[in-house]
Structure 1
Amino acid sequence: MVIVSKSAAQQSLTVVDNRTNKVYEIPIKNNSVLATDIKKIKAQRQLDTDREEDETEQGLRVFDPAYMNTAVVQSKITYINGQDGILRYRGYPIQELVKKSNFLETAFLLIYGELPTKSQYSTWHDEIMHHTFIHSDIEGMFKSFRYDSHPMSMLTAAFSTMGAFAPEANPSLRGQKLYSNAASGNRESLEVLDKQIFRIIGKAPTLAAASYRMRQGRPFNRPAQGLSYTGNFLYLLDNLSGHQYQPHPVLEKALDALFIIHADHEVNCSTATVLQVGSSLVDPYSVIAAGCAALYGPSHGGASESAIRMLIEIGSPENVPAFMEKVEKRERVLVGFGHRVYKNVDPRSTAIRALAEEVFAVTGRNKLLDTALTLAEYASKSEFMRKRNLYPNVDFYSGLIYQAMGFPLDFYPVLFAVPRCVGWLAHWRQQMLSPGGVKIWRPRQLYLGEGEREYVPAEQRKEKSEATVFDAPVEVGHGADSKRNALATYKDESGNTWTKSKL
């Protein structure tokens, strides 16, 4: 790349296509250029350098694996500055909201753009808390799972199932513009849209608690009126046979703060999934189920679980140097440090660090805390870590709090998903209210495979020379019954006799 300085600053990009010697002036707006403007840069296909599949004559494409530097939406919801460690919801710093707000108030802010008035908050709170019950048949769906099913698998299925119990909320049944019509101010569409927001936020803790109780082998609790959002969640999780259950205020407050911290994080993996699926105009329950499926992954919402498993494996502070030595040799992966966006301290981890001490004062000091602090201190002094901008992230401390509060490791992603429903809904609503309508997402690819080939009959085919393990299925092991079946003789539905099973 050659950099040439010009005297007069202009909000544009001058591009010279050396293939054609043509000069293009591309506008810059909000420090970005339109990918469709890049597509206007075209050239004739060169037979010696261009493949037919490169589609050279159709315009230049932008290749950006894993969306490393691609803006896919214009948004007013969350701002992140990874270099300076800044996170703001609708302009409010995350630290301020954790100190002064509560989860439902922050949820209103994220979805509707402003902190609610007293009257607005009262209505909002009542709507959410009166949409906490789930259909009894959904409880039956939970009971159909194996006892050892992962709670996140159950939660994902539950949100998808909820859509089947709300046919009036399905654009496939009510018309594809059921929600996108809201962009014009259509009152009926806005009402349907907001009702699903009430339902999903209200029922998320109930569904999450059902997945927990299912794992415990305990009967499901019914939502309690009069408790806070997180207080009701703790009641749903823990109440056995007593009356007037009240969770400990410190734990209730800590969980509420963690919910604020986890409510949104711009266009991360799961939010991008929500927007991708939402662009097809499917119902919001399917959208949230898709978000849960993305969040489930160990590189996303499963990271706090992985961080605790790593600390358990390290065991004690004296084992930290040996573990870090393996990390620096790239023999092990350090979980809970570094972030795709933050190249400085994760502001969420700063807010959580103070919460951790409050929780430990009630629950007792987490045995893993000393190991975690030693690891963080060691990492801060490591040249290997500093060069790579690897600082403790939100998963590092949140996992410690969850463990101190007694949650099982496999429930951590669920504790992430419940509040993240708010962020997903905020982005989905913003998408549905797009003045220009909702365009279905359809990324391009660079095709590097074979060119056009002729079909070869089976008897003329030969095995690929220098074949690798990736060129055919590997041998898969089966249960012991497959050995017995291999020795059996039977006839299939067509009457053919088999002497070896193909099961």
Structure 2
Amino acid sequence: MGRPTDVANDSLTVRDNRTGKTYTIPISDNAVSATGFKAISAPRKAGEREENETQKGLRVSDKGFLNTAVIQSEITYIDGDAGILRYRGYPIEQLATQSSFLETAYLLIYGVLPTKDQFTLFESEILHHGVVHAESEEFFRSFRYDAHPMAILTSAFAYLGSYYSEANPSLQGQSLFTKGDKASLANMDKQIFRLIGKATTFAAMAYRVRQGRDFVTPPTGLSYTASFLYQLDHLGQVDYAPSPVLAKALDVLFLLHADHELNASCTTVLQTASSLVDPYSAIAAGCASLYGPLHGGANEAVIRMLISIGSPANVPAFIEAVKRREKVLSGFGHRVYKTTDPRSYIIRKTADEVFKITGKDELLETAMALHDAAMNDEFFQKRKLYPNVDFWSGLIYRAMGFPLDFFPVLFVVPRVVGWLAHWRQMMLQQGGVKIWRPRQVYVGPSKRDYVSIDDRTDDKDAKKTPSAVPHSGISKRTRLASFKGKSKL
């Protein structure tokens, strides 16, 4: 690689016009190795910055990972142009109508649909591991009553890892999860059971702590989503049973959200896991990534948008404001999908089932008017802005009575499965785990000499000056007080 060679069929021929040399880089699975470009080097030109490292070979610049493959995966396939989503080769449409969330979780993690015995073991272990240590109550109660549930959940996953030293490669050795032998696989499975089982319990605890309610021990004899609803809502009623329609709807929603290839949060999990940290810390990192409004907050943004529109009569004006870039259209378009999100068809049917028992959400008519207007407008058609899964899921969650800031939590719970599937795959990949260490293109100052503080000048650039914070209360009074060691500022 890197030497001038004859052109092969499955290869890329690159001519470096700086040197006149030709290089052949192999193509495998329609991908080229980024390190193959390191061989394409050239002498540094007169006046060129040494920080460009031209003599060390080309770097591949890809802001936001728009076209960079960082791992070989067997889990999820997406064709954004054709609107295709498959888990382990199975179309999402088939799984959503014929499978269940936990069965699909098994598929994502282990690569095959389970037999009856395999599924019975998997389901029973997950439900069994839903119970948390009694000390967890103190941890959850330590948060303010108005703490965002995602902040609580992110902290809880990291906190959970402190209980299981056998799951920590820092304590047990770097090869704890990478050996692939029977003991290592069993240890890995146990952490998977714990994380999936406790995800609903933690989510329910984060929900109830803000309401000042006692926590509920996961019940026996209920499905994964029915148990979740029970933990959210049970207030001591005898023979309490959550609505089967809502439990089923939540199961479908969880299945649709279980994985979506290398999205921001999954990539964060793998980036973190590449250091061989324990899985609880990796999942906590993914949870923090999903917390962001560009990721997990999308369905919440849809509801806030619909509320701001107010009624179907205001949709035309809103559409025009979007075209003028004065408003943001949430729930349409996708980083990957350039046609209709395949999950949106399924979730639309699920919405109908939920609305039958909850009544139609008052925002539904506005949503439908916005949907029709955008779908029939050339402006949005040209830009391939079609409805995505977030457009409908927010309406369902709202109809089910969940507060807006709990929507991302309902995203995290099922996505834990996808994160774990990718984590497990990384730990068991051929060649072992290499820590992810991206390159950068350095464009900062070249070498310069230190200047003493008395000789420096202020360039008046606001970005290079810390902002002064207005102080009140005790801070303001303390600044006016006198005491030994007080700063001159």
Q: Secondary structure at the match of 1:23?
A: strand
| Corresponding residue to 2:145 among 144, 147, 155 | 147
Q: How does 1:187-198 map to 2 (within 5 A)?
A: 187-198=182-193
Q: How does 1:70-219 map to 2 (within 5 A)?
A: 70-182=68-180, 186-219=181-214
Task: Give the whole-Å Cα distance in 2 for the aligned partners of 1:468 and 1:382.
Answer: 43
Q: How does 1:98-497 map to 2 (within 5 A)?
A: 98-182=96-180, 186-464=181-459, 467-492=460-485
Task: Give 1:187 shift.
Answer: 1.5
Instruction: Give per-residue Cα distances to partners, 1:151-178, cap 9 Å, x unaligned.
Output: 0100000000000011111111111111
Task: Give 1:483 shift.
Answer: 2.8
Q: Secondary structure at the match of 1:70?
A: coil
Aligned length: 483
Task: Give the whole-Å Cα distance in 2 for the aligned partners of 1:477 and 1:389.
Answer: 46
Q: Secondary structure at the match of 1:65?
A: coil
Alignment correspondent of 2:21: 22
Task: Give the whole-Å Cα distance in 2 for the aligned partners of 1:87 and 1:460.
Answer: 61
Task: Give the whole-Å Cα distance in 2 for the aligned partners of 1:173 and 1:108.
Answer: 29
Instruction: Give per-residue Cα distances to partners, 1:276-305, cap 9 Å, x unaligned.
Output: 000000000001000100000000011111
Q: What amino acid does structure 2 have at the position aligned with 1:372?
A: A
Q: Secondary structure at the match of 2:31?
A: coil
TM-score by length of 2: 0.97
Instruction: Give per-residue Cα distances to partners, 1:322-368, cap 9 Å, x unaligned.
Output: 11111111111111111000000001111100100000001000110
Q: What amino acid does structure 2 have at the position aligned with 1:199?
A: R
Task: Give the whole-Å Cα distance in 2 for the aligned partners of 1:477 and 1:66.
Answer: 36
Q: Secondary structure at the match of 1:260?
A: helix
Q: In the alignment, does 2:54 pair up with 1:59?
A: no
Q: Secondary structure at the match of 2:190?
A: helix
Q: Flag as ranges the 4+ runs of structure 1 deviating above 4 A.
A: none
Task: Give the whole-Å Cα distance in 1 for the aligned partners of 2:363 and 2:176.
Answer: 50
Alignment correspondent of 1:3: none
Instruction: Give per-residue Cα distances to partners, 1:72-130, cap 9 Å, x unaligned.
Output: 11000000000000000001111111100011100000000000001101111111111
Identity score, percent:
60
Instruction: Give per-residue Cα distances to partners, 1:129-168, cap 9 Å, x unaligned.
Output: 1111011111210000000000010000000000001111
Task: Give 1:9 shift.
Answer: 8.4
Q: Secondary structure at the match of 2:59?
A: coil
Task: Give the whole-Å Cα distance in 2 for the aligned partners of 1:393 and 1:124.
Answer: 31
Task: Give the whole-Å Cα distance in 1 for the aligned partners of 2:213 and 2:396.
Answer: 24
Task: Give the whole-Å Cα distance in 2 for the aligned partners of 1:11 and 1:176.
Answer: 37
Task: Give 1:216 shift.
Answer: 1.3
Task: Give the whole-Å Cα distance in 2 for the aligned partners of 1:473 and 1:330.
Answer: 31
Task: Give 1:468 shift.
Answer: 2.3
Alignment correspondent of 1:13: 12
Q: What amino acid does structure 2 have at the position aligned with 1:66?
A: G
Q: Secondary structure at the match of 2:129?
A: coil
Task: Give the whole-Å Cα distance in 2 for the aligned partners of 1:478 and 1:361.
Answer: 53
Alignment correspondent of 1:5: none
Structure 2 residue ranges without an equivalent (≥5): 1-6
Q: What amino acid does structure 1 have at the position aligned with 2:172?
A: R
Q: Secondary structure at the match of 2:293?
A: coil
Task: Give the whole-Å Cα distance in 2 for the aligned partners of 1:57 and 1:341.
Answer: 36
Task: Give 1:388 shift.
Answer: 1.2
Task: Give the whole-Å Cα distance in 1 for the aligned partners of 2:350 and 2:85.
Answer: 18
Q: What amino acid does structure 1 have at the position aligned with 2:117?
A: S
Task: Give the whole-Å Cα distance in 2 for the aligned partners of 1:44 and 1:167.
Answer: 52
- The more displaced of 355-364 and 242-251 is 242-251
Q: What amino acid does structure 2 have at the position aligned with 1:340?
A: R
TM-score by length of 1: 0.94
Structure 1 residue ranges without an equivalent (≥5): 1-7
Q: Secondary structure at the match of 1:216?
A: coil
Task: Give the whole-Å Cα distance in 2 for the aligned partners of 1:383 and 1:455.
Answer: 58
- The more displaced of 476-485 and 324-333 is 476-485
Q: Secondary structure at the match of 1:79?
A: strand
Task: Give 1:243 shift.
Answer: 2.0
Q: What amino acid does structure 1 have at the position aligned with 2:243?
A: H
Task: Give 1:486 shift.
Answer: 2.5
Task: Give the whole-Å Cα distance in 2 for the aligned partners of 1:468 and 1:386.
Answer: 42
Task: Give the whole-Å Cα distance in 1 for the aligned partners of 2:475 and 2:221.
Answer: 57
Q: Secondary structure at the match of 2:32?
A: coil
